[in-house]
């Protein structure tokens, strides 16, 4: 069955302006790269979603946050000053401050939520077993606070939408972005129907500074948040070890009805904002591992891809993720030469210690980790 890829040109408006790390051209560059390497035919279909409605946004956000965000970024795009601009830091962090003349950010953010909704519907209806939302995975945003280049959290939307509309009670959210998904974690920290597994760079060394192994959820959700802080330099072997030691056993015990994965190219060894060590083969491995785990739930997967801050690396890494997830027979070439440092991984022993910490904190909740 072909893969459904959700994309439209309006996503390029998710652009914080000249000089900001998050520019909108990334999505257009990737789609062109994808078409150059894989024909649509029986492989994939590019689909367009409608923008999120106000009710959709209210599933994950407070009304006052939506109102401020819509008006502030609309005014910024027009090159004007919003009359209540002094309230910006009540609703957003400095990361989200636009530079110069941004794109139609808030409108594009609604498209991202619309894509998340359509992606879930397509999988749940059986139209596609796998859907991919290009520009999705905005995992730092919270109900009333935007940060980390994220306005509305489409990862959280998928979780809440699947809980509400489809009454699912075993949803696995797998976050492989280099940064901890602090926003997503807050949405589901007390929710036992969502198993949130988050691989990210050691939070002592990277924004947002959360995602330690002892942060495992609370209340009824205790044990259902799994943080795996990867040591600086962790590469393909470390990620493979984490999948085989923690993620795969947890998935088999949890028995998810669907998998929502998010994360782009920022764990790459040559990313501009992070210090991890994945190669292009490592990204394909993540896609393959996700596909294998999804056999538990008849292949049902929603994939959200947005991150990455080296535009030379980004297209290859995103494509490698997709080829692994979809099982496409295409070897994506390494866009940058792999340095000796990442050919013999020095972080593997530290990764083993992290795995032991994770198991120690969660062994009372999962038989597979004892």
Q: Count of CB atoms within 10 A of residue 37's CB? A: 15
Q: Report the C-alpha gap between 130 and 132 in whole angstroms.
A: 7
Q: Report the C-alpha gap between 84 and 106 in whole angstroms.
A: 17
Banded model confidence at residue 2, pLDDT cuts 50, 70, 90:
confident
The number of domains in the chain is 1
Mean confidence (pLDDT) of the chain: 95
**In 110-212, where do the E strands start and end?**
130-134, 171-175, 194-201
**In the chain, where do the E strands start and end?**
3-6, 44-47, 130-134, 171-175, 194-201, 225-230, 258-262, 301-305
Q: Report the C-alpha gap between 284 and 287 in whole angstroms.
A: 5
Radius of gyration of the chain (CA): 19
User: What CATH number corresponds to the domain at position 39?
Assistant: 3.40.800.20
Q: Report the C-alpha gap between 61 and 82 in whole angstroms.
A: 21
Is residue 38 predicted with pLDDT exceeding 70?
A: yes
57-108 confidence digits (pLDDT tens)? 999 999 999 999 999 999 999 999 888 999 999 999 999 999 989 999 999 9
pTM, entire model: 0.96
Q: Report the C-alpha gap between 350 and 333 in whole angstroms.
A: 29
Is residue 343 predicted with pLDDT exceeding 60?
A: no
**286: nearest Cα among 305, 273, 271:** 305
Is residue 8 predicted with pLDDT exceeding 90?
A: yes
Range of the domain at 286: 3-369
**134: nearest Cα among 160, 116, 159:** 116
The dihedral through the CA atoms of 108, 114, 120, 125 has a sign that is negative
Sheet holding 194-201, edge to edge: 44-47, 3-6, 130-134, 301-305, 258-262, 171-175, 194-201, 225-230
Q: How big is the chain, counted in residues?
A: 370
**263: nearest Cα among 221, 210, 220, 201:** 201
- Weakest-pLDDT range from 111-115, 187-191, 307-311, 342-346: 342-346
């Amino acid at each position: 069955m072909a893969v459904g890829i959700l994309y439209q040109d309006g996503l390029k408006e998710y652009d914080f302006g000249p000089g900001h790390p998050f520019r909108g051209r990334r999505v257009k560059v990737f789609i062109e790269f994808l078409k150059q390497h894989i024909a649509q035919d029986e492989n994939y279909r590019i689909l367009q979603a409608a923008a999120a409605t106000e009710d959709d946004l209210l599933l994950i956000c407070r009304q006052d946050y939506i109102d401020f965000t819509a008006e502030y970024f609309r005014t910024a795009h027009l090159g004007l000053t919003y009359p209540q601009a002094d309230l910006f830091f009540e609703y957003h962090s400095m990361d989200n401050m636009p530079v110069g003349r941004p794109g139609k950010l808030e409108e594009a953010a609604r498209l991202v939520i619309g894509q998340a909704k359509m992606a879930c519907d397509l999988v749940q209806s059986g139209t596609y077993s796998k859907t991919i939302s290009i520009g999705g995975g905005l995992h730092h945003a919270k109900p009333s606070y935007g940060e980390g280049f994220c306005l509305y959290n489409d990862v959280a939307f998928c979780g809440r939408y699947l809980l509400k509309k489809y009454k699912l009670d075993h949803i696995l959210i797998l976050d492989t972005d280099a940064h901890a998904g602090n926003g997503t974690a807050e949405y589901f920290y007390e929710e036992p129907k969502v198993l949130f597994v988050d691989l990210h760079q050691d939070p002592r060394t990277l924004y947002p500074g959360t995602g330690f192994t002892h942060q495992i959820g609370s209340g009824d959700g205790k044990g259902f948040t799994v943080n795996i802080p990867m040591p600086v330099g962790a590469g393909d072997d470390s990620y493979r070890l984490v999948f085989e030691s923690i993620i795969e056993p947890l998935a088999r015990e949890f028995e998810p009805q669907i998998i929502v994965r998010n994360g782009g190219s920022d764990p790459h060894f040559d990313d501009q904002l992070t210090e991890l060590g994945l190669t292009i083969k490592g990204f394909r491995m993540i896609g393959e591992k996700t596909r294998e785990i999804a056999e538990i739930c008849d292949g049902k997967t929603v994939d959200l891809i947005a991150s990455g801050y080296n535009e030379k690396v980004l297209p290859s890494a995103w494509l490698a993720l997709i080829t692994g997830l979809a099982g496409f027979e295409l070897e994506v070439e390494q866009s940058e030469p792999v340095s000796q440092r990442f050919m013999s991984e020095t972080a593997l022993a530290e990764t083993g210690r992290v795995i032991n910490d994770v198991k120690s904190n969660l062994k009372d909740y999962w038989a597979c980790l004892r």
